[in-house]
Amino acid sequence: MANLIRFLYHHALALSLLVVLRARTQARVCQRRHDCGPHCRAWAGTGASATAQWTIVATPHTLPIYINVPSALCDAEAPRWCSDRMRVFGALRAVAPVWETAMVNVGLIGLGKMGLSHLAIVNAHPEAKLIGICDTASYMCSILHKYTGIEVFSNYREMLDRKSLDAVIIATPSRFHGEMVREALLRGLHVFCEKPFCLDPGEGTSLAELADQKGVVNQVGYHYRFVGAFNEAKRLVDAQALGRIHHLRVEAYGPVVLRPKGGTWRAKSSEGGGCLHDYACHAIDIVNYLVGRPDAVSGTVLNKIFSRDVDDEVYATLHFADGMTGMIAANWSDDSLRRMSTQVTLWGTNGRMVVDRQEVKTYVRGAAGCTGAAKEGWDIRHTTDFHSDVWYYLRGEEYSAQLDYFIRCIAEGRRENISSFASAVQTDCVVSAMLQDAGGAWRRVDAGARTPAQSRTGEGGLLSLVTGALR
């Protein structure tokens, strides 16, 4: 009964977050825990040149309702995003006028875990309007249409043909990415695609080239590039705070597959399932982001723990053109962790750095050779020192930050992207190389001279001891 009550509560809360009955357009807003007070000119009635409209926000009565204020109407002394807030109990009510701004009309394909996350985030974004949802699960579409009023489709091409559409988010299994991305690009749409980008790096390369030809914003959902701690690590590496990097280790562990399961795309290698494609790709991409793509891989191990047809853990050695080496370890069947945990350790000629989404820990030797980018000796800085507030929190700031970056690139006409199709192809190339390497022949270890232990246990050493015990 307790679990049922908990489920119903969270279900109602999720629906209340999705049911945002708002005007056609909405100004940028931040739900920071402060009032902008006298810094905001909106209350003085100045600077509002566009049409004022009312926003009605549906929330549980125990949650605060925020007054939305355009950032353009705030003084320089005020925070970048302003909001005043009030707590409303009982019935829904209009809480404040907002001023009309240009909106990015977005369509969404795929209503799996990531699709639903993107739906909630984009639907709450003050500069985006979700105008279409597509999925083959008709019951999901009907529920979302009922509670949000957003138009739903079962055929993604019909949604892409909407004249008012500016951009599309593709959150389907990887084997569908190529076709859907191409159809969107041919229509001149900006595209955000979930990772991994393509199962075939050649297909990904052609799509990256097409996106450049069309001049559209293109982005892949490698969200670790939007974690403040990893961005700080990137700054330190670029500033050569550790000197020349000569070795790194990247690890990714989490509780995704904890029992034998089938029937989903994650259990099928042909659809992009498996730890390497779906989990280790994050670890590979953050390596590419920090130090560049490796030139070669070796010693790749793909092990099954619970899965029958795909890998559950991945291990490999990375080799870089400048002589740097690296090691990767990923396991999505590790229930010692509550959620995915990714950590990168880098060793340089002048120190060491350990970084994850919580903190950046550095050790820099002396002042000699140090650029001043990091403190001498040990230093620990936490993610709260680096991350920016987001307008909507779900699962982690980075999920909102990556979509905000995508929307702002479109709104501001920026074509450069830190997580572009081209960069995602580099990750796909490493994944492809690891798959090929995993099928390579083993190099057997020569027996060599017999050790004292082998003399006691017989010619076969430990193997003879084990097989003898089994007779």
Ramachandran angles phi, psi of 368, nearest 5°: -65, 125
The β-bridge relationship of strands 351-355 and 104-109 is: unpaired
What local confidence, expressed as pLDDT, does residue 454 receive? 58
Count of helices and strands (H, E) across the chain: 13, 18
Burial class (CB in 10 A: 0-12, 13-18, 19+), 179: middle
| Cβ pair 70, 83 in contact under 8 A | no
| Cβ pair 198, 174 in contact under 8 A | yes
Cα maximum dimension of the chain: 93
What local confidence, expressed as pLDDT, does residue 82 receive? 36
Spatial distance between the Cα atoms of 295 and 288, rounded to a whole number of angstroms: 11
Q: Does domain 104-224 have CATH number 3.40.50.1980?
A: no
What local confidence, expressed as pLDDT, does residue 92 receive? 30
Spatial distance between the Cα atoms of 120 and 19, rounded to a whole number of angstroms: 10
Distances in Å between the alpha carbon of 100 and those of 70, 86, 220, 302, 363? 9, 22, 30, 53, 50
What local confidence, expressed as pLDDT, does residue 38 receive? 34
| Cβ pair 373, 384 in contact under 8 A | no
| Cβ pair 99, 73 in contact under 8 A | yes
- Say which CATH architecture domain 227-389+421-438 belongs to: 2-Layer Sandwich (3.30)
What local confidence, expressed as pLDDT, does residue 99 receive? 40
Check whether the bond before 196 is cis (ω within 30° of 0): yes
Structure pTM? 0.76
Distances in Å between the alpha carbon of 161 and those of 68, 91, 164, 186, 330? 32, 39, 9, 11, 40
What local confidence, expressed as pLDDT, does residue 452 receive? 65
What local confidence, expressed as pLDDT, does residue 366 receive? 75
What local confidence, expressed as pLDDT, does residue 212 receive? 97
Domain ranges of the chain: 17-99, 104-224, 227-389+421-438
What local confidence, expressed as pLDDT, does residue 236 receive? 96
What local confidence, expressed as pLDDT, does residue 266 receive? 75
At 130 the three-state DSSP class reads strand
pLDDT along the chain (471 residues), means of 10: 49 46 34 33 33 35 35 39 32 36 91 95 95 95 93 97 96 96 99 97 98 98 97 96 97 94 76 91 98 97 94 98 98 94 97 96 76 82 84 88 97 94 98 92 75 55 42 45
What local confidence, expressed as pLDDT, does residue 451 receive? 63
| Cβ pair 304, 276 in contact under 8 A | no
